[in-house]
């Protein structure tokens, strides 16, 4: 049996509680991945709801050389001048063929790293991303949709789309696991179908 894939989840102060749970739990429970929490300087961070998360690692590229994928979780910190520079880590994972994803404000570090230059992508709205990064490379590839997008091994999503973010991310990381991916998608969709 192959070694489990390792996914780094990047959390900063004020991270969005709802944006990572479907991805992290599904990756571990359904696909046998190892989920690792990262934060700047390996400092504990609080979620929007006030929950305290203690990470295992910092965000330096050299301490995360084992990552097969990285997911940047949204926070109101990402648009601010205090946002950490994620470019070295994101670029390193992308260069070795890993999956790189961002949801909500977590799409801004991908844009800053130049990962949208050749990738169709989305975020919290065209006006929102252009307000924060008016000249980012690849802005002409923006798609104003309400669900996650995967282009190559780059995944992006608005903050309102944690379900499609999880599915797109895991479909890219585990393309050979079609049956489990279909089951997972059906499970996520069930609550919306039953409420219609």
pLDDT for position 196? 65
Is the pTM higher than 0.95? The answer reads: yes
Q: Residue 101 burial by CB count (10 A; 0-12/13-18/19+): exposed, middle or buried?
A: buried
Per-residue pLDDT averaged across 171-196, rounded? 88
Domain 6-195: give its CATH code: 3.40.50.880
pLDDT for position 120? 98
pLDDT range class, residue 195, cuts 50, 70, 90: confident
Q: Residue 123 burial by CB count (10 A; 0-12/13-18/19+): exposed, middle or buried?
A: buried
Contact (CB, 8 A) for 163 and 22? yes
pLDDT range class, residue 1, cuts 50, 70, 90: low
pLDDT digits (tens, 9 = 90+) for 60-78: 999 999 999 999 999 999 9
For the chain, the domains span: 6-195
Tokens 């977590």 belong to 106
């Amino acid at each position: 049996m192959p070694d489990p894939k390792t996914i780094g989840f990047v959390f900063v102060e004020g991270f969005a509680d709802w944006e990572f749970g479907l991805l992290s739990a599904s990756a571990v429970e359904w696909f046998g991945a190892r989920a690792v929490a990262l934060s700047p300087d390996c400092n504990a961070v609080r979620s929007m709801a006030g929950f305290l998360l203690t990470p295992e690692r910092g965000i330096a590229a050299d301490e995360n050389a084992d990552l097969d994928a990285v997911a940047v979780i949204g926070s109101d910190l990402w648009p601010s001048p205090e946002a950490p520079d994620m470019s070295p880590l994101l670029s390193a994972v992308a260069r070795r063929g890993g999956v790189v994803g961002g949801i909500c404000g977590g799409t801004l570090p991908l844009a800053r790293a130049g990962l949208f230059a050749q990738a169709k992508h989305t975020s919290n709205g065209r006006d929102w991303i252009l307000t924060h990064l008016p000249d980012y490379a690849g802005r002409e590839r923006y798609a104003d949709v309400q669900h996650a997008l995967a282009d190559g091994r780059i995944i992006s999503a608005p903050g309102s789309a944690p379900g499609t973010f999880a599915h797109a991310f895991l479909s890219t990381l585990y393309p050979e696991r079609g049956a489990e991916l279909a089951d997972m998608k059906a499970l996520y969709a069930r609550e919306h179908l039953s409420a219609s």
